[in-house]
Structure 1
Amino acid sequence: MTTPLSKPKKKNPVKRIRMPSLPPGKRSREAQGLTAMAAVGRFALQVCNECEKVQYPPRQICGKCLSDKLFWQDVSNGGKLLAETELQHSNDTYFRDRVPWRLGIVIADAGPSIVAHLGEDCSHGQRVRMSLSIDRAGNAVITARPEKPNKLEEDDLQLREMAFDPKDRRVFIVNGKTELGLRIAENMVAAGAREIFVGSAEPWRSSSYLEQIKSLERTSIYSLDVTDTESVKELASMIGDKVEILINNSYHFRMGGLIDRFDINTAHDEMEIHYHGLMRLAAFFGPIMKSRSADGPHGAAAWLNVLSAYALINNPDLGTYSASQAAALSLSQCLRSEMASGGIRVINTFTGPIEDEWQQIAPPPKLMTNTVAKHIIKGLQNGMEDIIVGAVAEEICERIVENTKEIERTIKL
């Protein structure tokens, strides 16, 4: 039975915080294909197009027929645990700080034998279900849990290293004056977040969503304007060392393209909030979170940006908005690289049109804000890196892979 996650205790301010360390990080180019599958929550392995043999570990040519026609396909994630061991000592700093660490060999239903990180409840000869996860170094690993889920499996400290379940973690939501901010806060409470900090800009402007957030338990409101460097710096000095999951849901949506709505002021506001706002948050919250990533089971874990799917391809009906989202996406990739050395994972959520007051004329299908919030929680719990929400976002991703020029010429609201 999985040991229940212990409640956080007050820290000894004199005791030194454990310094961040990372698991071994070198992977081949082929192995990074596993990372791409893990990032979106798929369990996919290479399959030979000639003999249909499933390959593991990833390789350049088929281990059976030597064909180089290997493609990534979703396969069964079931298997049987053939052997298990428990690591009690390691010369690697990351594992030395976290022993005991369970490993095992799983005979996958798809064919190959796989070395997997084991959940506490896995036992020899038992059926297990595997998943592709991303470790603290940003590389794909395979984890195994008992075939039948139990309520406490997400409390497993070893598996918790590869996911960001909000349970007993402190969460910072940047913008509490939108319906999405409210729904994220509500779902964080339901997921068991220990404490929720919510940012609020423009104190002179009332917000029914913010009033509802104030009524939630374990939630507190702080003044924050992401367009003001001093505001971000001041808040970071107040709560920066408490934030374990940061949700950047900064939002400034306006209709219009480049020529048909030539408005430098609106375009400036979009960039100031989406791009420069992210830059300010990263400058002041990033270093603090990096320093606390190894601070036990309740250390800093993840940074999540809520972006539009139009960050991936410009929608001319939303020309400057799409450009500001693309800029934020590019900056988030820089942030991901810089936070990786501290073991903090940067996650991007891509959404289609949302049902709110600013996107009224956007045609369906549109997303309810609660749907987006639930996908965010699920993505955090599963350790995903790219969370694709809604039919529009899914179609955009598929069409970009199939033919970028086609979607570039046909996309519109």
Structure 2
Amino acid sequence: MTESYQGMLDEEKVFKDPVHRYIHVRDKVIWALIGTKEFQRLRRVRQLGTSYMTFHGAEHTRFTHSLGVYEITRRMINVFQGRPHWNEEDRLLALAAALLHDIGHGPFSHSFEKVFHSDHEDWTRAIILGDTEVNEVLTSVSPTFAKDVAEVIEKTSPNKLVTSMISSQIDADRMDYLQRDAYNIGVSYGHFDMERILRVMRPTEDQVVIKQSGMHAVEDYIMSRYQMYWQVYFHPVTRSAEVILSKIFQRAKWLYKQGYEFGQAPVHLFSFFDGKPTLKDYLRLDEAVVLYYFQIWQEEQDEILKDLCVRFMNRRLFKYVEVNPNIQMGDWARLRELFAKAGLDPDYYLVVDSSSDLPYDFYRPGEEEERVPIHLILPNGKLRELSRQSDVVESISGKKRTDHKLYYPGDWLEAMDEFEEEKREIHMLLNKEG
């Protein structure tokens, strides 16, 4: 018989937290969800993937972030209680969705997803609705509760207010990761006055809005996010590590398809190589498992897999140059040819990586991803979209920034004395300017 997790704990549980000081848990359901094996797996998945190669403090996990998002949502609810448009019956739905929003993330999430055409959002749904401890806990609340939680996280829920608390342009998720990431890596960019923002948040029928008096705190938050993306999340050294990581997965998958005999067979990855992983396969994976294979593969017979793993495990990363696709990409075929001639397989050792971010956007109906803009509530009760009130936000609103970098093994290139002519031409093409 399924145990009931209804009601409150006899005594409040607290987690000591470096960002929020304390995280408070009173609901039996939340405490039970934290104790599930699927949620505990998040202790073994870093929040920032390969960023620890750049910022040595970036060792915090999806587990700590998920608790943080839960805590911010709990504090939002405290502000909303007793106000128009807030339904106290939605409290547990908001808390559970906040806690579980990242439950589907895997090891080195985004690099892993690219190579294996996987999507952490699909896995999140599978964990919440599948044969899991998480589903068992959620189902004890009501037969439809798991589905309701999944829909909030997927942004398909009819409950738009709760959805916006977890996922919008100013939400509990972003407010936690900006502060938590900044704290752990030691930069000042991600800090903003969250307490002020929480105090001026108000519920409406279909989204969270901000009192006009809190506009400057929101401006600070948006600029913090902008700086964190370009100074931290898209850092070129982190991206170099991601490129190598992706190429390791790509090479291992290719070797598997060729019938190659690994010295240490990656049994945990076989179903991913075949494109048919089950939920059980996915939940067996974490970063400790992946790094175990990388460690062992440093002694593989295949030279490319071996080299890439040595590079990743010992932080011997690729060099990079800024590229303009309109210039260097015209020389792409020639660059590949020169790399191949010098004995460097261009499929693994010549990689263009692009990053782009849209720091804030107003409403654009009909777009593939419709972003709900931040609205200010004026003293007369009317709503006004943030960029129409704030010159700071208007200056970056709707402006997508993209940059492109080309990664290559600079150490190998410099050491190839027998290919001086090719080396000179490669350098010339890499440093070509328009």
Return the TM-score normalized by structure 2. 0.22
Indicate the structure with greater helix content: 2
Return the TM-score normalized by structure 1. 0.22
Indicate the structure with greater strand content: 1
